[in-house]
Structure 1
Amino acid sequence: MSYLAATHMTCGYGGANIIEDCSITVERGEVAVVVGPNGAGKSTAMKAIFGMLNLTEGSVLLDGQDITHLPPQDRVPKGMAMVPQNRNVFVLMTVQENLEMGAFIREDNIAPTMEQVYELFPVLYEKRYQLAGELSGGQRQQVAVGRALMTQPKLLMLDEPTAGVSPIVMDDLFDRIIEVARTGIAILMVEQNARQALEIADQGFVLVQGQNRFTDTGEALLANAEVRRSFLGG
């Protein structure tokens, strides 16, 4: 069984279902990417996996344990961390204070983890005493990812991590995501930059109208003529 097995998920926001019979799996140390057109249900699927929406059908298993009915705050100690697309830093706190907030559930020494975050994102060390609200968009994303890593997650979920950043910053962030996966953490990422995301993906899921349209390796999806024509611009 996959480390994360979110299978046959169906849910919405009180009216019609946004996702229906949607399945997403991730292995330890792998990057899984969810792509698709606007309104396909990508972010909804992430919220369902993290427990922010109740499923009407389906289940979510993490490392073989059924967490379908756990609220988000109880999934974090199980090893889940999620970085939302918007408002994902405390703008009136310093970079270091943001990272410390990420470790609020921990009772051990957080210094080694903070050192690892600073090694992964050297600019955060340089700006550790600067308010997060004064940083560039790309630097804020690094703070948000770093704060999530402070929880020592086994599954890191990223909702549009490169939204609004330059291509150079996007490439650098993707490089850092690969580094995180190499430590054994499972990465699940929703991305609008589909082609670039699939280039680093071990597994890819193409959602259309809340359902799985294509599921394959990132390499295979990039080589699929229909996927290229319909979702990657040819």
Structure 2
Amino acid sequence: MSFLIGEGMTGGYGGADILNGCTIAVDKGEIAVIVGPNGAGKSTAMKAIFGMLNLRQGRVMFDGEDITALSPQERVLKGMGFVPQTHNVFTSMTVEENLEMGAFIRRDDYRQTMEQVYELFPVLKQKRRQPAGQLSGGQRQQVAVGRALMTQPKVLMLDEPTAGVSPIVMDELFDRIIEISRTGIAILMVEQNARQALNIADKGYVLVQGANRYTDTGEALMANPEVRRTFLGG
């Protein structure tokens, strides 16, 4: 069984199901990417795995344990980090204060982790005394990812990490995501830039109407003519 798996997930908001039996999994040190058209349930699948959505059917297993009934807070304590697409930094607080907020569950000395975040994102060290609200979109994303890393997660979940950033910043963020995965952290992300995301993915999931349409390695999905034509713009 995979390190993290949302298995046969069915659920939604109110009476309507957005997810229809979909399964998403990722292993340690892997990058798994969820792609698909707008309204396919990509972000909803992430929220379900993180416990922000009650499932009517299915379960979430993490490191061999059934965590379906746990709250998001309890999942963070187990080792899950989640970076939402928007409103993911405290704009009035400095970069360093944002990172300190990420360490709120820690009872040990977190300064070494903060140094690791600064090594990963050098610009944050330069701007550590600056309010996060004054940063560019790409730099804010780095703060959000850095804050999640401060909890020392075993799984890092990213919802549209490159939304609204320039192609150069997107490439840089993807490079950092690869670096993070090489430390053994499992990465699960939803991404609009499907072609670029599948390029770095060990595993890819194409969702349509809340169900798995294609599941394969990133490389195989990139090479699949049907996937290319329908989801990657030819």
Fold shared by both chains (TM-score > 0.5) = yes
Deviations 1:164-206 (A, max 9, x none): 0000000000000000000000000000000000000000000
Which residue does 1:117 correspond to in 2? 117
Which residue does 2:74 correspond to in 1? 74
Which residue does 1:64 correspond to in 2? 64
Post-superposition shift, 1:232? Answer: 0.2
Aligned partner letter, 1:176: R
Aligned partner letter, 1:76: V
Deviations 1:98-119 (A, max 9, x none): 0000000000000000000000
Post-superposition shift, 1:5? Answer: 1.4
Q: Distance in 2 between matches of 1:15 and 1:43?
A: 18
Which residue does 1:166 correspond to in 2? 166
Aligned partner letter, 2:10: T
Which residue does 2:38 correspond to in 1? 38
Which residue does 2:8 correspond to in 1? 8
Q: Distance in 2 between matches of 1:80 and 1:102?
A: 12
Deviations 1:182-233 (A, max 9, x none): 0000000000000000000000000000000000000000000000000000
- Gaps of at least 5 residues in structure 1 are none
2:161 is paired with a residue whose SS is coil
Instruction: Report whether the alignment pairs 1:136 with 2:136.
Output: yes
Query: RMSD value over aligned CA atoms?
Result: 0.3
Which residue does 2:108 correspond to in 1? 108
Which residue does 1:191 correspond to in 2? 191
Which residue does 2:99 correspond to in 1? 99
Deviations 1:117-140 (A, max 9, x none): 000000000000000000000000
1:75 is paired with a residue whose SS is helix
Deviations 1:25-49 (A, max 9, x none): 1000000000000000000000000
Q: Distance in 2 between matches of 1:9 and 1:79?
A: 21
- TM-score normalized by structure 1? 1.00
1:76 is paired with a residue whose SS is helix
> Identity over the aligned pairs, expressed in percent?
76
Q: Distance in 2 between matches of 1:232 and 1:131?
A: 37
Which residue does 2:25 correspond to in 1? 25
- Gaps of at least 5 residues in structure 2 are none
Q: Distance in 2 between matches of 1:59 and 1:86?
A: 27
2:77 is paired with a residue whose SS is coil
Aligned partner letter, 2:11: C
Q: How many residues align?
A: 234
2:227 is paired with a residue whose SS is helix
Post-superposition shift, 1:15? Answer: 2.0
- TM-score normalized by structure 2? 1.00
Q: Distance in 1 between matches of 2:5 and 2:193?
A: 24
Aligned partner letter, 1:64: G
Post-superposition shift, 1:16? Answer: 1.4
Q: Distance in 1 between matches of 2:9 and 2:69?
A: 13
Which aligned runs of 4 or more in structure 1 are off by greater than 3 angstroms? none
